[in-house]
Amino acid sequence: MSWPRFRSTGSVVISIGCVTAVGLTSALVFGPKALTAEFALLTADVGWIMGGTGNPDPTPSYISEVEALFLTPPKELFPGQPTFDGYTFQGLYTPEQFFPVTPTLVTPTGESGLTFGQSLALGVTDLNNAITPQLAAGDEVAVFGYSQSATLTTIEMDDLIAHPPAGVDLSDLHVVLIGDPNDPLTGILERFYGAGTLPFLDVPLNGATPEVPFPTDIYTGEYDGWADFPQYPFNFLADANAIAGILIVHPSYPTMSPDLLGSAIGIGTVGDTTFYMIPEQLPILEPLDQIPYVGPVLGDAIAPELSVLIDWGYGNPGDPGGLGDGLAFGGAVGPWPIDLTASGVAGILPRLDPLQMLAALQYAEVQSLVGPVDDILSYAGAQPLPQPVTTVLEVLTGYDLTNAVDAVMRDALTGVSQLPGLADLSPDVLFNGTPIIDGTPIIDAVGAVFSIINAL
């Protein structure tokens, strides 16, 4: 498809419930059993690779896929990609069950029908048994987690921080996570942290993967509803897109193309944790991609405006010509800004520059006209519209004028904010994409209800 890949409490209960009900999967293939912790090889520089929900025994093909993309690629797929040359990676068995989604899975000791929480508890034990002897021996150890195993890795990291083994340097543990539901910036289990445990499905809303002291790299597919859930869940369009992302983006990490991973953007570092966002198309429009010829044309007509509306749910005004820190990590090309304080809890109404929001829609109007025409010209073997056409359309829609007025307004606010006691009037404070209304009280109230239900 030709539309941009990277443009881009009842509500809380509905959001979590829909995501957990739909996001049941890493969509991976079962295979021969991986090594269990009892057979850990006590050699230096060993890495453990775990699967996701439904994939307790990482297969050789799965191991090869994630090594080639995320761990030991033949060459860096993007500048500065962290790699683990010299490590020997092997699969690690973890239960990866999620009742009622995985009723046929059975652990080596006979447990089946495990809830998400029960599966996590056993998986944490498996991981701890594998890595603790190596860390105690002073070895460098790498751990790779995906989806559910990213969450159990988060729990193990928290446990090691709370109860560090004697003589162990925790910085010897290197962590790589993909599709992390506990992503400190955007993961759904962090978005609704404080709500306790989701009733019936036993999903702990247990907060963020710790940013220190473990060297950690977290890869997140844009719009993956487990790992990149909207910060503003009352944006129901963004919620629906994220749920579609659970089905389309979340299972795709191990098999994504090297070129797609090569387009990953390093969006910053918090403590010892570095975050990478992998660009994706809007998953909610994926069905259009299956329609020959007509699909791309319709997609290019719809996607620009839809991207703007969806990205408002992530605190991104969406204006590629906008100014300010809110666009520091990619402008209109994704769900930005990312708050690198690693506080991704859900909120109500983002602090966005209204003129940049208007400009984003004006820019999207231009793209909605140019994109479909370029598709049709391409089918006919003709050249795309020349750039001057786009420039004229931007003038006619008022896009350039809106950005000019916005620049004047921001300059004025910046000047006022330099007066004593008026620092909060800085545009970088007023329009920083963070919540106008903190969602924590609502989440706490929902958590109280969850606690009552879970106690029954």
Average pLDDT for the chain: 86
pLDDT tens digits along 219-239? 999 999 999 999 999 999 999
Give the rounded percent of residues in the chain with a pLDDT score beyond 70: 85
* Residue in the structure block whose two tokens are 């990676």: 89
Q: Which long-range contacts (CB under 8 A, 24 or more apart) does 385-390 make?
A: 390/366
Domain ranges of the chain: 45-280, 285-344+353-432
Report pTM.
0.87
Overall average pLDDT of the 97-104 stretch: 85
Going by CATH, does the domain composed of 45-280 fall within 3.40.47.10?
no
What is the SS3 assignment for 142? Answer: strand
Q: Quick check: 133 and 89 in contact, CB under 8 A?
A: no
The neighbour count for residue 208, using CB atoms within 10 Å, is 23
15 among known catalytic residues: no
pLDDT at site 109:
79
Least confident interval from 29-43, 230-244, 391-405 = 29-43
CA atoms within 13 A on the CB side of 158: 12
pLDDT at site 433:
79
Query: Is the pLDDT score of 334 beyond 80?
Result: no
pLDDT at site 337:
44
pLDDT tens digits along 407-429? 999 999 999 999 999 999 999 88
Query: Is the pLDDT score of 336 beyond 50?
Result: no
Query: Is the pLDDT score of 390 beyond 50?
Result: yes
pLDDT at site 152:
98
Length of the chain as a residue count = 456
Overall average pLDDT of the 304-327 stretch: 76
* Residue bearing the bigger pLDDT, 45 or 218: 218
Integer Cα distance of 279 and 447 in angstroms:
33
Q: Quick check: 32 and 59 in contact, CB under 8 A?
A: yes
Q: Packing angle between helix 354-379 and helix 399-417, nearest 10 degrees?
A: 150
Considering the candidates 11, 26, 147, 426, report the single residue annotated as catalytic.
147
Give residue 343's pLDDT band: very low, low, confident or very high (50, 70, 90). low
pLDDT tens digits along 51-72? 999 999 999 999 999 999 999 9
Overall average pLDDT of the 115-137 stretch: 96
